[in-house]
Amino acid sequence: MRYLLIEDNPKLAGAVVERLQLDGHAVDHADTLAGADACIAVADYDLILLDIMLPDGDGRDFLERHRRAAKRTPVIVITARSAVSDRVGLLDLGADDYITKPFDFSELEARCRAVLRRQSGVAANQTSFAGTVLDSTKGEIVWDGQATALRNRELRLLEIFFNAPGQVFSKTHLMDRLFSFSDEASENAIEVYVGRLRKRLEGSGAALETVRGMGYRLVAR
Amino acid sequence: MKVQGSIRRRLFFQLGGIAALLSLAFFLTLRVVAENTAEATQDSILAASATAIADSLRSDNGSVSLELPYSALSMLGTVSEDRVFYHVVVSGNSLTGYADLPPPSAPPRPGSPVFDTYDYRGDEVRSVSVMRPVGSAAQSTNVVVTVAQTRLGLEATSQRITTTATGVGVGFFLLATALSLWAASSALAPIDRMTAAVTRRGPKDLRPVTAETPAELVPLVDALNSFMARLRTSLGRSEDFIAEAAHRVRTPLATVRTQAEVTHRKLNKPEHKKAIREMIRAIDESARSAGQMLDHAMVTFRADSLARDDLDLVVLMTETCDRLVPTADLKDIAIRTDFGNDPIPFQGDGILLQAALQNILDNAIKYSPEDSNISATIKVGETIRISFTDQGRGFGDTDMSRVTTRYQRGANVGDIVGSGLGLTIADEVARAHGGGIEISHNNEGIGACVCLYLPR
């Protein structure tokens, strides 16, 4: 996915960009409203992450302009103020969601997903492997015209495998991707989720293979 | 505060004291005037009687004779059983009457009678002596006529007057006392009104007092209003401060947390990863506390002048639940809602209510296990009951009344990050709207049920 991050704090922006890139997203960064306008003029983004306090204006003005121009790109506001009044004001101005600093990237990811899912008519975010299609937006896998719904963690786990078929992922890596820091999870949990996914994938062309001592990988049956 | 005396009592006693003094003075004056009048009346009758006797004196060649006009004495004996004495002395010799009647204290001169009061034959008497020269100018003889009368009638009159004066005095006193009671009350009525206006307001209402104020109290009310204005400013300033502080704290925390996440991803050794995880949890803890303290300040501030917007609780709950679905999704927790089909109108502060509901639901998600359900329902009965039931660890043996106390957390929170303000915020919002929070154990198995109820 392609993100536009509008944030004036260079250290925070740098860290967020790096973190999003680690998940394989493309990120452009603007540190002013003017810069953001320039970015929007030349590129299409899947999602905009917007800080409210910027050196050349209020992020809310950008939000209003953005909505008036009838741009469809969803905007998630990143705010440092958790004042209840601010929150409602933001949603009224046309933000699709907001997240409070400091944020958990798994939560940010979840919110992005929810925002994209809510948007009607958005192009389906699909990856396919061995005749099996993973629809991230709808949260389902489809083969032979038959769809199976996935729960959130199952979907996120399967996304990791579908994005890099054949690559071996260690349990530790999968845990990092799957659980937020507030969760107390053991490596057994990964085994549980892999077990569930295997059940879901029964009958399809794809399978999760255990690589002894290494981890798991996605292979064609 | 040191309570010293009461204005009402002081006013009442002072006015009552003045009334008592005035009544006494009135009583004494009345009695003196009345007695003097009565005495003057007796004196003039005595004088008239003595004069009448003197008028009946005849001189016959140097010898004085008297034919006592009984009418002169009978005019005296009209009223009571007063006895009358008389004595006529001609040139120092007793002519007729009671010879032992004491002589006048001073020799009377013609035209100016002498009045005396003394005891005679066991009674107090009042006497008058008039002097009349009798006979021709050449052979005139000085005759002194003394008429005396006991004072029983006068005393009875005086008794009557005293009784009347006492009655009038006491009546005057009672009336004045009642009036002073009324005056004290009515003088203090504006103070009572203002006291009511000030005490009626909630403890957090800092608007200026606008009740009708008597001129004497204007400085006091001005002082009170300016004090409240300063307090309001200071509250507002501390709110700004909290918001600013939260902003200053949160941005660097966000940087650190994000960098920590990046580092965590890049590290391989489990002990390093563990250290970073601990760090991130600590960051989350401080960020959460900052956020909830800010929310708490906001709630306290907004509860002062509670907005009364027309809300639909179903819409409010739907928004709240939708907002937290992604958070719940992360743990594969399903939020099952049952709000009925009809709108549930309610007047209140939507922002505060949303903050309250969000805090309760957020709590439920935080303490729920993976792959569980949280049910959210609204039931309208005598009160509107919004309930969240989870399948989490519940509150254990926690004293339920303490969970809504600031910074108090349940007995079995384990290692879950929290500030202990979430339910306090919800409780304060509910109270501001005239409702409250009830926490109970989940009736259907494990977990807890948090219910926010509001009046209809």
Domain boundaries, chain A: 2-118, 126-220
- Chain A interface mutation, best of B253, B266, B320, B329, highest count of A Cβ atoms under 10 Å: B329
pLDDT per position as a tens digit, B119-169? 888 888 888 998 888 877 677 788 888 888 888 877 887 888 888 888 888
Closest-CA distance, B6 to chain A, in angstroms, reads 48
Residues of B in contact with A104 (CB under 8 A): 284
pLDDT, position B89: 87
Strand partners, B98: none
Q: What's the topology of domain A2-118?
A: Rossmann fold (3.40.50)
The two three-digit tokens of residue B112, written as one number: 């100016």
pLDDT per position as a tens digit, B210-266? 878 888 888 988 998 898 899 888 877 876 776 777 778 888 889 999 999 899 888
Instruction: Say yes or no for a CB contact (<8 Å) between B251 and A101.
Output: yes
Domain B306-456: assigned CATH number = 3.30.565.10
The two three-digit tokens of residue B293, written as one number: 């303290």
CATH 3.10.20.30 fits A126-220, yes or no: no
The two three-digit tokens of residue A24, written as one number: 């394989």
Percent of chain B with pLDDT over 90: 16
Strand partners, A27: A3
The answer for A2, left when phi > 0, alpha when psi is -120 to 50, beta otherwise, is: beta
Strand partners, B127: B116, B148
A window 181-220, beta carbon within 8 A of B: 181-184
Residues of A in contact with B298 (CB under 8 A): 83-85
Sign of CA dihedral B166, B170, B176, B179: negative
Cα–Cα distance between B155 and B157 in angstroms, integer?
5
Residue B314: pLDDT band (50, 70, 90) is very high
Sign of CA dihedral A173, A177, A178, A180: positive
Q: Count Cβ atoms within 10 A of the Cβ of residue B25 and give its class: 0-12 exposed, 13-18 middle, 19 or more buried.
A: exposed
Residue B409: pLDDT band (50, 70, 90) is low
CB B436 within 8 A of CB B427: yes
- Chain B interface mutation, best of A182, A184, A188, highest count of B Cβ atoms under 10 Å: A182
Helix or strand or coil: residue B38? helix
Closest-CA distance, B214 to chain A, in angstroms, reads 40
pLDDT per position as a tens digit, A173-202? 888 888 877 776 777 888 999 999 999 999
The two three-digit tokens of residue B209, written as one number: 């007092």
Residues of A in contact with B351 (CB under 8 A): 84-85, 87-88
Phi then psi dihedrals of residue A145, to 5 deg: 70, 10
Q: Which residues contact B38 (CB under 8 A, 6 or more apart)?
A: B154, B157, B158, B161
Name the residue of chain A whose CA is nearest to B269's CA.
Answer: A172
A window 6-45, beta carbon within 8 A of B: 9, 11-12, 15-16, 18-19, 22
Instruction: Say yes or no for a CB contact (<8 Å) between B243 and A81.
Output: yes
The CATH architecture annotation of domain B7-159 reads 2-Layer Sandwich (3.30)
Residues of A in contact with B287 (CB under 8 A): 100-102
Closest by Cβ to B250, choosing from A19, A101, A182: A101
pLDDT, position B413: 64
* DSSP H or E segment with residue B326: helix B313-330
